[in-house]
Amino acid sequence: MEKLDNIIEALRHDLAEAVEAVDRPYGDAVLTVSRTRVHDVLSGLKTRGFDLLLDIAGVDGLHLGGRERFEVVYILYSLRDDLRARVKVFVPEGDMTLPTATDLWQSANWAEREAYDMFGFNFEGHPNLVRILCHREFVGHALRKDYPMMKGQWATGTSDLRPDIERE
């Protein structure tokens, strides 16, 4: 616990207003970060030992009543200290761009593609931001709260992957 607190304190010291809040629900540590500084915070955490990006989760907080409608949560793990941390970013509905984390961790590649597919986040700098789980003719973003559950969309064939090969 103290190691994690020390790391967070050092981070807040270096990047003054980037980390807006630190919560400790159920013993985890969640840092709320502003959208413009998220890349600095993530690279700061990576240099302080958080070398494993476990997951990037998108959340549609339409009924939760948070600051903005969408959230992006990065779940990080430090292999040398065995610590877990989460970084939460609030994203408004009107402007869903975020800097990509693929230059820090290669696991962000597909995790960001999934967040784009399910919610519509636009990760700037991502090498190949196309749909990954739904088919390429799908219109809309499936996990948003206003996407109807039963609305299926037929596909007319498999997609051509030649552009993908060159891009990634």
Partner 1 sequence: MGVKGIPLTKHETGLITTRIEEVIRWGRKYSLWPLPFGTACCAIEFMAVASSVFDISRFGAELVRFSPRQSDLMIVAGTINYKLGPVLRRIYDQICEPKYVVSMGACACSGGFYDNYATIQGIDQIVPVDVFIPGCPPRPDAILSALLKLQETIDREPQMGPRRPITEHGKTR
Partner 2 sequence: MNTTTHGKRMEENRIDNPKPGFEDPSPGVDLDIADETALEDLGTEPMFINIGPTHPATHGTFRVFCKLDGERIEKAAVEIGYLHRGFEKIVETKHYTQVIPYTDRLNYCSGLVNNVGYCKAVERMLGVTITPRTEIIRVIICEIQRIMDHMICVCANLVDIGALTNFWYFFNAREKLNDLLEALTGARLTYSYTRIGGLAWDLPKGFEENVKTVMKEVPKAIKDVEGLIKKNRIFIDRTRDVGVMGADDAVSFGFTGPCLRASGVNHDLRKKKPYYHYDEFEFDVPVGERGDVYDRIFVRMEEMKQSYRIVEQALKILPGGPINIDDKNIMLPDKDKVHSSMEELINHFKLIIEGIKPPAGEIYDAIEAPNGELGFYIISDGSGKPYRIKCRPPCFYLMNGLKKLIEGHMVADIVAILAGLNIIAGELDR
Sole window of 6-14, 34-42, 93-101, 103-111 interacting with partner 2 (rule: CB under 8 A)? 103-111
Query: Which residue from 57, 68, 99, 122 is in contact with partner 2, where contact means CB under 8 A?
Result: 57
Q: 31: Cβ–Cβ under 8 A, 6 or more apart, which residues?
A: 8, 11, 19, 21, 22, 41, 85, 86, 87, 88
Is 13 among the residues that bind partner 2 (CB under 8 A)? no
Query: Which residue from 25, 158, 161, 165 is in contact with partner 1, where contact means CB under 8 A?
Result: 158
Measured in degrees and rounded to the nearest 5, phi and psi for residue 43 equal -70, -30
| Rg (the chain; Cα; Å) | 17
Sign of CA dihedral 24, 25, 29, 31: negative
Q: Please give the residue ranges that form the binding site for partner 2 (CB under 8 A).
A: 25-26, 28, 30, 51-55, 57, 59-60, 63-64, 73, 75, 79, 82, 84, 86, 105-107, 109-111, 114, 118, 131-135, 142-143, 149, 158-159, 161-162, 164-166, 168
